[in-house]
Amino acid sequence: MGEERRNNMEIVNSDYKNYPVKVEAMRASWILDSDGKRFFKKILQSEQLDIYSIPAIQMFIEYLYIKVKQQIWVLRFYPYVVQVIAFYAMLYLYEHQFKMVQVVPDNYLQL
Protein backbone atom coordinates (compact mmCIF):
# COMPACT_ATOMS: atom_id res chain seq x y z
CA MET A 1 0.00 0.00 0.00
CA GLY A 2 2.44 2.65 -0.99
CA GLU A 3 5.18 1.39 1.33
CA GLU A 4 8.74 0.97 0.21
CA ARG A 5 11.92 0.23 2.12
CA ARG A 6 14.94 2.46 2.21
CA ASN A 7 18.25 1.67 3.93
CA ASN A 8 16.79 -1.39 5.76
CA MET A 9 15.65 0.90 8.62
CA GLU A 10 13.32 3.50 7.28
CA ILE A 11 9.91 2.69 5.85
CA VAL A 12 8.46 5.38 3.64
CA ASN A 13 4.72 5.46 3.10
CA SER A 14 3.58 7.55 0.18
CA ASP A 15 0.04 7.68 1.63
CA TYR A 16 1.20 9.95 4.48
CA LYS A 17 1.42 13.67 3.99
CA ASN A 18 4.29 15.63 5.48
CA TYR A 19 3.91 19.16 6.75
CA PRO A 20 6.59 21.51 8.00
CA VAL A 21 6.51 22.14 11.74
CA LYS A 22 7.84 25.17 13.54
CA VAL A 23 8.95 24.45 17.10
CA GLU A 24 9.44 27.31 19.53
CA ALA A 25 10.72 27.07 23.07
CA MET A 26 11.02 29.72 25.73
CA ARG A 27 12.09 29.84 29.31
CA ALA A 28 8.79 30.36 31.08
CA SER A 29 9.21 29.55 34.75
CA TRP A 30 8.48 33.18 35.63
CA ILE A 31 4.90 32.75 34.38
CA LEU A 32 4.02 30.65 37.38
CA ASP A 33 5.44 33.22 39.80
CA SER A 34 3.93 36.51 40.92
CA ASP A 35 5.76 38.25 38.04
CA GLY A 36 3.71 36.26 35.54
CA LYS A 37 0.50 37.09 37.35
CA ARG A 38 1.31 40.82 37.22
CA PHE A 39 2.28 40.51 33.55
CA PHE A 40 -1.00 38.89 32.56
CA LYS A 41 -3.02 41.35 34.64
CA LYS A 42 -1.38 44.20 32.73
CA ILE A 43 -2.19 42.50 29.43
CA LEU A 44 -5.79 41.99 30.56
CA GLN A 45 -6.13 45.65 31.56
CA SER A 46 -4.60 46.83 28.31
CA GLU A 47 -6.96 47.99 25.58
CA GLN A 48 -4.60 46.91 22.79
CA LEU A 49 -5.94 43.71 21.25
CA ASP A 50 -2.93 43.28 18.97
CA ILE A 51 -0.98 41.99 21.99
CA TYR A 52 -2.91 38.73 21.65
CA SER A 53 -1.57 38.19 18.14
CA ILE A 54 1.98 37.69 19.47
CA PRO A 55 2.79 33.96 19.22
CA ALA A 56 4.54 33.86 22.60
CA ILE A 57 1.51 35.35 24.35
CA GLN A 58 -0.76 32.88 22.60
CA MET A 59 1.49 30.02 23.69
CA PHE A 60 1.46 31.22 27.32
CA ILE A 61 -2.32 31.60 27.34
CA GLU A 62 -2.80 28.11 25.87
CA TYR A 63 -0.47 26.65 28.49
CA LEU A 64 -2.28 28.39 31.34
CA TYR A 65 -5.66 27.33 29.95
CA ILE A 66 -4.56 23.71 29.96
CA LYS A 67 -3.57 24.10 33.61
CA VAL A 68 -6.83 25.72 34.77
CA LYS A 69 -9.28 23.90 32.48
CA GLN A 70 -10.03 21.26 35.13
CA GLN A 71 -10.72 23.93 37.74
CA ILE A 72 -13.10 25.64 35.32
CA TRP A 73 -15.01 22.39 34.84
CA VAL A 74 -15.25 21.72 38.57
CA LEU A 75 -16.15 25.26 39.60
CA ARG A 76 -18.50 26.20 36.77
CA PHE A 77 -19.77 23.24 34.74
CA TYR A 78 -20.70 20.69 37.40
CA PRO A 79 -22.75 23.19 39.47
CA TYR A 80 -24.46 24.21 36.23
CA VAL A 81 -25.45 20.61 35.52
CA VAL A 82 -26.81 20.23 39.06
CA GLN A 83 -28.77 23.46 38.63
CA VAL A 84 -30.30 22.29 35.34
CA ILE A 85 -31.26 18.92 36.84
CA ALA A 86 -32.84 20.66 39.85
CA PHE A 87 -34.75 23.02 37.55
CA TYR A 88 -36.23 20.21 35.48
CA ALA A 89 -37.04 18.21 38.62
CA MET A 90 -38.93 21.17 40.11
CA LEU A 91 -40.69 21.76 36.80
CA TYR A 92 -41.75 18.11 36.65
CA LEU A 93 -43.03 18.14 40.24
CA TYR A 94 -44.90 21.40 39.67
CA GLU A 95 -46.62 19.97 36.58
CA HIS A 96 -47.30 16.70 38.38
CA GLN A 97 -49.04 18.62 41.18
CA PHE A 98 -51.62 20.00 38.75
CA LYS A 99 -52.23 16.62 37.16
CA MET A 100 -53.31 15.28 40.56
CA VAL A 101 -55.97 18.01 41.00
CA GLN A 102 -59.19 17.16 39.21
CA VAL A 103 -61.41 19.90 37.87
CA VAL A 104 -65.01 19.39 38.93
CA PRO A 105 -67.80 20.96 36.85
CA ASP A 106 -70.25 23.30 38.56
CA ASN A 107 -73.26 21.04 38.13
CA TYR A 108 -71.50 17.95 39.51
CA LEU A 109 -73.14 18.08 42.97
CA GLN A 110 -76.63 19.03 41.80
CA LEU A 111 -79.24 16.32 42.14
pLDDT, tens digit, 9 for 90 and up, residues 34-88: 888 898 899 889 888 888 898 888 888 888 888 888 888 888 888 999 999 999 9
Instruction: Look at residue 9 and tell me whether its pLDDT is greater than 60.
Output: no
Q: What CA–CA distances, in Å, run from 80 to 31, 72, 77?
A: 31, 11, 5
Record the pTM.
0.45
pLDDT confidence of residue 49: 87
Backbone torsions φ then ψ of 10, nearest 5 degrees: -100, 130
- Tell me if 107 is assigned to some domain: no
pLDDT confidence of residue 81: 94
Task: Calculate the CA dihedral of residues 64, 69, 72, 78 and round it to 10 degrees.
Answer: -170
- Tell me if 82 is assigned to some domain: yes
Q: How many separate domains does the chain show? A: 1
User: Residue 77: which domain range?
Assistant: 17-100
- Tell me if 11 is assigned to some domain: no
Average of per-residue pLDDT values in the chain: 80
- Tell me if 109 is assigned to some domain: no
Q: Which 3 state secondary structure label does DSSP give 37?
A: helix
- Tell me if 111 is assigned to some domain: no
Instruction: Look at residue 4 and tell me whether its pLDDT is greater than 60.
Output: no
- Tell me if 73 is assigned to some domain: yes
- Tell me if 59 is assigned to some domain: yes
User: 5 falls in which pLDDT band (50, 70, 90)?
Assistant: low
